Chain A
Amino acid sequence: MPIVVFLLKRLFGVIVIVLVVSFLVFSLLALSPGSVVATLLGNRPSTPDLVAALKAKYHLNDPFLVQYWHWLVGVLHGDFGRSTQSGATVTSVIADHLPVTLEVAVYTLVLVVGIGIPAGMLAGIRWGSRFDKGVSALTVFGMSAPGFAVGIVLVYLLGVKVALFPVYGAGGSSPVDRIEHLTLPAIALAFGLIAIIVRQTRAATLNVMRQDYVTFARARGVSPTRILVRYALRNTALPIVTSAGLLLIVAISGAVLIETVFSLQGAGQLMVQSVTAKDVPVVQGLAIFIALFVVVVNLLVDAAALIIDPRTRVAARS
């Protein structure tokens, strides 16, 4: 029962968040310079008739709140509208662009978790060693190097000089081709994130390895592998999982620059392009999706925390 209440509360929170986000984004677009008509016609020739027709078509003569209401009513009926630019449905536009962004984000997360956590744990266990110092130095470099700059260097070295990977684009539909194309973007994006997760893991491991129960375990003759897995990994898991969830969200938002460098037509590019063109339906649709994504990731992180740490279950019940 407490779980049901917990979920209901979170669901209510989701609805409130989505409403607030949609209204804020709608407001910000309305406040930004220009208009839909200006961006549609740009500096092309126009006539008063054409301008009037476009204003009528997109309800631009209605008050701001009425325009928002039109959009909201449509969404409540499951209709996110059509792109003001292309006329395609918002859902199809997002569906065309989202996969590549999610693929890069997941690929990035795999690299971050697969490289960052072992490296961080090892550095924490071997605190003060050459390995630890080397890893720490690399993390400073990783956190300092902008992802897009890393991307350009990678393209030149691994795309042109050595020609191991394609220099741009997302590739075709085959998994191998896809992975081949998305490797460099994922590495570029993961570069800084690995540094963060390494630092986080190292600190957590360092803390755990200094605990009395680890000392006692060692004294009892427990094997180093068992200490690492059952003691260190489990007790460092909570902050690591929390960080990983946040990093997945960062990977989505950080994809904008990476998508530009590698010419990936993902959600980041779509958002930039749609905001520039004041394509309100698409921007709203994307904003809602991203808000939902963040909420779901946080929910999964919370759920994982409940599983990992029994103490959090007590807190949730209370």
Chain B
Amino acid sequence: MRTNAHRVRTPGSRAGTALAGLVAVGLFATGCTGSSGGTHGGQATSFTFGVGAAPISLDIAKDFDGNIMQIMALVTEKLELISSNGDLSPALATSVTQPDSTTLVYHIRSGVTFSDGTPLTAQDVAWSLQHMTDVKAGAQTAGNVPSFQSAAASGPLQVTVKLKRPDPTARQNLAVISFVQEAKFGAAHQKDLGTAAAIPIGTGPYQVSSDTTQAVSLTRNPHYWGPKPPMSKISFNVITGGDNTSQLAMRSGSIQGTLVANLKTASQWQAVKGASLYTLPALTTTFLTLDISSGPLSDVHVRKAIAYSIDRAGVMAAGYGKYASLMRGLAPAGVLADVAPSVQEAEAFLAALPQYDLDPAKARSELAQSAYPHGFSLTIPYVQDAPFSQLTVENLAQNVKPLGVTIKLKAITTQQWIATIYAHGKGLGVQTMELIPPVPDPGAVLGVVTGKPNIRPQGFNLANWSTPQVEQAFTQLTTSVDKQTRWRAAQTLLTAIADDVPYIPLYDPDTVAVLGNGFSFSRALTLFDLDVNGTWASALKTG
């Protein structure tokens, strides 16, 4: 399953459940399976995409999940588009001004109408922003912009957003969650908005023509202001049987696209006649968290010994094949690009950080310097549904045996993992984590796993790690609006993490899409195109 709108993703989930979030999608072409006009390219005007879980709600405030966003980004447009390096470009907002550090003014595109023919107004935009950030209503998207205070129409086509405090990523986060829908309809259906009885009305290239438990079907919005999308109909059929069933569905011609749920099956997908795999960089961070507050993990030499005992390259190959890269720091270079002078400079900085590749001699040396030279015992949970989690922990357990360290593996469910992480109780020990940043900004990773404010229930500083230097950098990263200051803060945090090892960076797996039966993408895409911007549909081509 694909992740919930790019936040912390359960270790390894790509098939699964609510929390584990990443969704997979599926759908039925014409209300049923099998038949779809898009089969075998050519003059096909319809396209069917398989998703791994049925949408819970088509109102993203109630189901903030990449799966749903992929569908609804085609229906309810956003104010701005966001690229994988954090750049923003116009969508429903033609421009944005920031008169002061706590005010954003959106200038709305004129001549835009909803799919029911109603003109888009500033009130619609303001209502949509309030809806997506409505804490009292429990909007799942509200946590993305905690600095949000209000949104109000300040002109016929102008909306002013007020922030509680300066927030360097507020505009980017709003770009991710600002799905604009018709206010009158939404307000009239507060309780059941997002169900089949009350599907949000948007201005996007498509409108929802049917929503059943088996599939969601979209047809072209005749009132769309932009270029006509290539497909007249796009269906999302629910296929819950995983890669196996999806492959059979593609072989039978009943779907033309899907996401690879388990990257280990990529070779099987390549064997499907006519199928092409597309790598979508996702800026994912997988890592181990080491609770430094008690026990052997409080000793930095123990933590380094652990870091030197993981065959990250081997586990990555086993878990992801060629569709991942090793992390050189606790954030991919793409996440740093927003504040770094360039991606190249970010990559160079990461490469210069202390690295902990598998090295038994160094591991032994580090343990000898610790307060536990003869070893210790530790229980480490792994998430059953997350292959990388199990592989990493098993590999670690095997490699530390010669050092006298006994690691007992404990299988837990995704729900148990979530409960543990969420409670942020004592004795967290070692946990496996996977984060997909909601926006490509270091604050979305480093600002989440560091800092005292994140040492709390629902906080993800699971290492319970803090130093004065780190706190200062954390504050700068999360509150400063100066790019250079934030870059320095990010560097400080990454260096401190590499030195103190409260976290062990692991892998950056890609998202892989498969297209077949005559369909292909006309340009390279990222996960933001697929899950956030809805621009993937315009890249579809046949033949």
Contacts and interface: CB of A to CB of B under 8 A. Distances in A.
A and B interact physically: yes
Contacts of A211: none
Contact of B419 (A38, A57, A155, A170): A38
Contacts, number: 202
B260 to A, nearest CB: 17
Output the residue of A83, A86, A89, A155 with the most chain B CB within 10 A. Answer: A86
Contact of B415 (A48, A54, A177, A276): A276
Interface string A28-46: 0000111101111111111
A181 B33 contact: yes
B138 A54 contact: yes
B33 A47 contact: no
Given A41-B458, A47-B135, A53-B136, A168 B241 contact: yes
B7 interface: yes
A167 interface: yes
A167 B249 contact: yes
Interface stretch (B24-32, B318-326, B477-485): B24-32
Contacts of A40: 138, 140
B458 A33 contact: no
Interface stretch (B191-199, B224-232, B328-336): B191-199
A39 B19 contact: yes
Contacts of A43: 4, 7-10, 19, 21, 418, 421, 435, 460
B143 A277 contact: no
A171 to B, nearest CB: 4
Interface stretch (A65-73, A193-201, A217-225, A258-266): A258-266
A165 B8 CA distance: 40
Given A40-B138, A50-B135, A34 B143 contact: no
A263 to B, nearest CB: 5
A172 interface: yes
B248 interface: yes
Interface stretch (B55-63, B88-96, B292-300): B55-63
A34 B412 CA distance: 13
A318 interface: no
Contacts of B56: 83, 85-86, 277
Interface string A159-197: 110010011111111000100010000000000000000
Nearest to A173: B31
B130 interface: no
Contact of A159 (B31, B240, B248): B248
A263 B238 contact: yes
A297 to B, nearest CB: 24
A126 interface: no
Interface size class of B (residues with CB under 8 A): 35 or more
A50 B415 contact: no
A172 B415 contact: no
A160 B5 contact: no
B192 A88 contact: yes
A44 B240 CA distance: 23
B214 interface: yes
Nearest to A34: B419
Contacts of A88: 57, 192, 195, 197
A57 B422 contact: no
A35 B416 CA distance: 10
B17 interface: yes
Interface string B1-27: 000110111100000011111000010
B135 A269 contact: no
A140 B254 CA distance: 35
Contact of A86 (B63, B238, B251): B63
Interface string B24-46: 00101011111000000000000
**Most chain A CB inside 10 Å of its own CB: which residue of B9, B135, B196, B413:** B135
Given A40-B138, A87-B191, A168-B239, A265 B244 contact: no
B248 A156 contact: yes
B214 A169 contact: yes
B62 A85 contact: yes
Given A44-B64, A160-B251, A167-B249, A38 B422 contact: yes
Contact of B138 (A57, A82, A86): A57
A212 interface: no
A269 B240 contact: yes
A265 B245 contact: no
B252 A263 contact: no
B418 A39 contact: yes
Contacts of B429: none
A25 B419 CA distance: 20
Given A167-B249, A167-B254, A181 B32 contact: yes
B392 interface: no
Contact of A155 (B26, B146, B213, B248): B248
A47 B244 contact: no
Interface string B215-255: 10000000000000000000001111100110011011010
A170 B240 CA distance: 13
Contacts of B193: 87
A96 interface: yes
B449 to A, nearest CB: 12
Given A39-B415, A263-B26, A167 B32 contact: no
A15 interface: no
Contact of B33 (A49, A166, A276): A166
A172 B244 CA distance: 23
A277 B17 contact: yes
B191 A44 contact: no
A221 to B, nearest CB: 56
Given A43-B8, A166-B254, A167-B33, A276 B64 contact: no
B415 A33 contact: yes
B54 interface: yes
Contacts of B415: 32-34, 39, 276
Contacts of B435: 43
A260 B244 CA distance: 11
A312 interface: no
Contact of B458 (A46, A82, A265, A273): A46
A269 B244 CA distance: 18
Q: Which are the 9 A-B pairs with shortest beta-carbon distances?
A: A169-B33, A43-B8, A45-B143, A265-B213, A42-B19, A33-B419, A166-B34, A34-B419, A171-B32
Interface of B: 4-5, 7-10, 17-21, 26, 28, 30-34, 53-54, 56-57, 59, 62-64, 135-140, 142-144, 146, 191-197, 212-215, 237-241, 244-245, 248-249, 251-252, 254, 413-416, 418-419, 421-422, 435, 438, 448, 457-458, 460
28 contacts: A33-B416, A34-B418, A39-B19, A42-B8, A43-B10, A43-B418, A43-B421, A44-B7, A44-B64, A45-B7, A45-B146, A47-B142, A51-B457, A53-B138, A87-B192, A87-B195, A155-B248, A160-B251, A160-B252, A166-B252, A169-B238, A170-B33, A177-B32, A181-B32, A263-B240, A263-B245, A269-B240, A277-B18
Interface of A: 32-35, 37-51, 53-54, 57, 82-83, 85-89, 92, 96-97, 100, 152, 155-156, 159-160, 163, 166-173, 177, 181, 259-265, 269, 273, 276-277
Given A45-B448, A152-B244, A156-B248, 4 more contacts: A39-B418, A86-B56, A92-B197, A273-B53
